[in-house]
Amino acid sequence: MSLNSSQTLTIGGQDLVRNGSRTPREDAGAVMKPSTPTKKPQPPRPENGITIAVSSRVLFNMEKEQQIFEQQGMEEYIKYQVEHETEPFSPGPAFSFVKALEAVNTQLRELYPESEELFDVVLITNNHAYVGLRLINTINHHQLFIERFCMTGGNSPIGYLKAYHTNLYLSADPVKVHEALEEGIAAATMFTQEKMTEVSETQLRVAFDGDAVLFSDESEQIFKAHGLDKFFEHEKAHENKPLDHGPLKGFLEVLGKLQKKFYAKGQRMDCPIRTYLVTARSAASSGARALKTLRSWGLEIDEALFLAGAPKGPMLEKIRPHIFFDDQMFHVEGAAEMGTVACHVPYGIAQRIPRKGVKDKETSPAVK
Ligand SMILES: [Mg+2]
C-alpha cells in the first residue's frame, strides 16, 4: 500500500461513516476555533478502565510534517507546526477505532452510569512540547475525549504504558511496538493508508488473526519447519491441547468482558462490540484446535472465518472492522490494499521486513 492521508469512500450505507471525520482537503487550511470544551465525561481511573494508548502519528495524519522533519530538520519542523497551530491534523489510521471506542463508552455510560469499566484513550507522543498545543487543539476540534496525554520527550513509552495499565498500544514505530510486546503489553504497528473503507459508527468491530496474534506461534513453527501436511497432522494430534496465549489474547479478553455487560442488559444480538477471528487455518483440518482453545479460555468470538489459505482482504472488506491485527505483513498489506485498517503484530516466527510501499520510517525521533 502506498500511504497518505486520503480516505476513500467506497460504499454507502445508513450506519456507515467515513473513516475519519473529514478529508484532508477539507482540513487543509481549515482554521479551528481554539476550543476548550466545557463539559466532558470523566475518564475512568487507569486501574478500572481499559486503556488504549495511541501515538499521535496513528491517531492523526502527520505525514506532511514528518516529511518536513526528515528533509529540513527539527527546527523547520517545529517552526512549521507552530505556524500551523490552528490547523487541525486530519484523521490517521487509528482515528475511527478511537471514535468507535468512544461510541461504546457512551452506550456503557447509559447502561451503567456508575461504572468505570470504560475505554480510556491515552495519547502517547514524543513530540516537542510546541507541537503539543496543535495536538490538543486537534483533539478538541475532532471532539475526541482524550484527557490523558503523555509527552515522553523521546524516551521509551514502556514506563508510561505500564503506569496506565495499558491494554493495547498502537504506534507507527515498530521498535516501540516490539518493546511493548516484549514487556507483555498487547501492541501493534499501524500504517497510514491510502484507502480506508467506511466503518460502522455505532458498533466497534475488531478482527484478529489466530496464530501468533491471539495464540502463540507454536503451530506456526511446525508449519515453517515441516510444511503444511505436518502442520495438519500436528494440529489433529493436539486438537484437545489448548494453544498457548498470544500477544493480543488479553485485548480480546477485555472486549469480552465489556460484551458481557451489554449481554446482561439484553443486548446480545445488537451488542455494540463485535469480534472476529480471521485465520488462514482451514476449518476441517486445523480449525477445531483454534475454537477449542478459545473455549478453554472462556472466550467467545462472534464470528470465526477459516479461510484455508485464501486471501484475507476480500473477507475483511465485507466485515469492515475498525481494526485488524495480523502477525504477517503479507496479510496486513493485502487487507490494507482493500481498505481495511490493518496493523502488524511483530511477534513470532513469521516476521519479515515490511515490503516497499508500506512507509516504515518510524525510527525518526521527531514524531511517533
Ligand atoms: Mg498469524
Average pLDDT of the residues in 88-105: 97
DSSP structure string for 51-73 = EEEEEHHHHEE-HHHHHHHHHH-
Same domain, 239 and 326: yes
Neighbours of ion ligand 1 (CB under 5 A): 209, 211-212, 327
Active site residue 209: yes
Same domain, 176 and 52: yes
Query: What does the radius of gyration of the chain's CA atoms come to, in whole angstroms?
Result: 20
Same domain, 165 and 20: yes
Same domain, 184 and 246: no
Q: What pLDDT, on the 0 to 100 scale, is given for residue 71?
A: 95
* Lookup result for grid cell 461510541: 103
Same domain, 182 and 252: no
Each residue's pLDDT tens digit, 57-82: 999 999 999 899 999 998 999 999 99
- Report CA(209)–ligand 1 centroid distance (Å): 6
What domain range is 43 assigned to? Answer: 16-192
pTM of the full structure: 0.85
**Helix axis angle, 249-263 to 95-111, nearest 10°:** 40
Catalytic residue (choose from 27, 173, 209, 217) = 209
Neighbours of 178 (CB within 10 A): 16
Q: What pLDDT, on the 0 to 100 scale, is given for residue 224?
A: 86
Q: pLDDT-based confidence at 36, cuts 50/70/90?
A: low
In a domain, 36, yes or no: yes
Same domain, 187 and 220: no
Whether pLDDT at 236 is above 80: yes
Q: Which of 142, 159, 192 is the last residue of a domain?
A: 192
Give the CATH number of the domain where residue 278 resides: 3.40.50
Give how many domains the chain has, as a whole number: 2
Each residue's pLDDT tens digit, 111-121: 999 999 999 99
Same domain, 31 and 173: yes
Q: pLDDT-based confidence at 6, cuts 50/70/90?
A: very low
In a domain, 368, yes or no: no
Q: What pLDDT, on the 0 to 100 scale, is given for residue 15?
A: 37
CA atoms within 13 A on the CB side of 314: 4
- Report CA(335)–ligand 1 centroid distance (Å): 13
- Report CA(19)–ligand 1 centroid distance (Å): 26
Residues 310, 313, 316, CA angle at the centre, nearest 5°? 110
Residues 232, 233, 236, CA angle at the centre, nearest 5°? 85
